[in-house]
Amino acid sequence: MASKMNIVITQLALLVVSANLLEACFLTTEYRVLIDLDLSLGFVYPLTIHCWSGNEDLGTHMMYLSDGITKYDWRFCENFIGKSVYTCEFWWNGKDKTFQVFNSDTSDHDCAEESTCTWHVKKHGFYLNGNDRRSYKW
């Protein structure tokens, strides 16, 4: 009887440990991508975003400054082989732009501060991590 109880306790312990590992990044880095709208976009046109990776579609999101929605973000664990790529397509005021917002090959140094890549979306383009130099034009 004691042997069966030990087996049950061991199985429950393994289940709890496994559940905790699924919630956290195990042996990889957790990253955050943050899309931040600048007031220069104005209040008339929404910013529409569609983001995806090789195995995850984050869907399409519309952001309205007039509604006070100025940020969209997500977190993910870098995959085990260290090759995570997220791409987003942006639409605003008749313009559109598609580019990689995260790529394991380059984002380690671009997103070093707290493992966060912050993309500031402005009237004239996209700026990474508060850099004054524009990364992409519309």
Note the pLDDT tens digit of each residue in 18-71. 434 455 788 888 999 999 998 888 888 999 999 999 989 999 999 988 888 899
Q: Are 58 and 51 in contact (CB under 8 A)?
A: yes
Segment holding 12, helix H or strand E:
helix 2-23
Strands (E), 1-138: 30-37, 47-53, 57-63, 71-77, 85-92, 95-103, 116-122, 125-128
* The pLDDT of residue 10: 57
Query: How many Cα atoms sit within 13 Å of 19 on the Cβ side?
Result: 6
Q: What are phi and psi of 65, to 5 degrees?
A: -60, -35
* The pLDDT of residue 17: 41
Predicted TM-score (pTM) of the model is 0.78
Within 10 angstroms of residue 11's Cβ, the number of other Cβ atoms is 10
- Mean pLDDT, rounded, of the chain: 83
pLDDT at 15 over 80: no
pLDDT at 16 over 50: no
pLDDT at 13 over 80: no
